[in-house]
Amino acid sequence: MVCSERLHFICEVLAPRRTPVRELSISNFQMNDTLPARAVDAYIDAIGRSEEWQRRQHGETPFPDCRRLLVDKVRWPADDDYSGPPDETALLRDLKRAAQARHRQHVAAVHRSYGAGCGLVSRRGTNQLRYSPTDALLKSLILANVPTRMDYSEFLDLLYRQYGLVIGEREAVQVLSDDEFDRKSFQMNSARLERRLRTLGMLRRLSDACAYVENPLSLRM
């Protein structure tokens, strides 16, 4: 799906009906949600490709030597954690199953739990999780990053560079393929955010071509 290797979050500013941005955000969320599990598999695969594993696998006592390496590396298996055949490939395969089972009970929930907790991940308007920032998160981003006022397009660029948040067309074109990128949809997404920030009292449009995000606390001081 993604042209850029940099981690990013395609954010839908809530629309009254399903949009291409929402579809991309759902897909982007699902892809990011698999990253921790893929990292677990990649770590185990790296052990299997390591020089030490290869040396032990081709030694005189491959299975007990490889098993001992896993105990040293990942504290697995304990005596009752493995009941498979005395085969190094089967041992790695069983480690993956055990690691993924434990992962699903713990770290796998971090992405959606923390994302929902900070106001980035939402099901609002749909039954599928995607990135859709709340008013509270938007206010926090402005208070943390806008000293007094900032050009709106610069603010969108900052959100992308600093946090990987993709809202407008300039940011979307950097992470999407030509087939996925829909300029008009992201222009409308950006316009919805502009209206929302204006409603929150954190954006002022001075002319047709000039809009500024404002930090109300700095302005009052």
Maximum C-alpha span of the chain: 79
Residue 146 has pLDDT above 70, yes or no: yes
Q: What DSSP designation does 61 have?
A: S
Say whether both 111 and 163 belong to one domain: no
Report how far residue 200's alpha carbon sits from residue 143's, in angstroms, rounded to the nearest whole number. 13
Say whether both 32 and 127 belong to one domain: yes
Half-sphere exposure at residue 209, Cβ-oriented, CA atoms within 13 angstroms: 0
Say whether both 111 and 141 belong to one domain: no
Say whether both 167 and 180 belong to one domain: yes
Give residue-wise pLDDT tens across range 187-204.
Answer: 999 999 999 999 999 999
The H-or-E segment that residue 203 falls in is strand 203-207
| Cβ atoms of 1 and 177 closer than 8 Å | yes
Supply φ then ψ for residue 119, to 5 degrees: 95, 15
The model's pTM? 0.88
* Alpha helices for the chain (secondary structure H): 20-33, 35-49, 51-57, 62-74, 88-105, 110-118, 135-145, 152-163, 169-175, 183-199, 216-220
Residue 24 has pLDDT above 90, yes or no: yes
Say whether both 112 and 96 belong to one domain: yes
The H-or-E segment that residue 122 falls in is strand 121-122
Residue 1 has pLDDT above 50, yes or no: no
Say whether both 18 and 118 belong to one domain: yes
Give residue-wise pLDDT tens across range 33-49.
Answer: 999 999 999 999 999 99
Residue 185 has pLDDT above 50, yes or no: yes
Output the domain CATH number for residue 184. 1.10.10
What is the tally of structural domains in the chain?
2
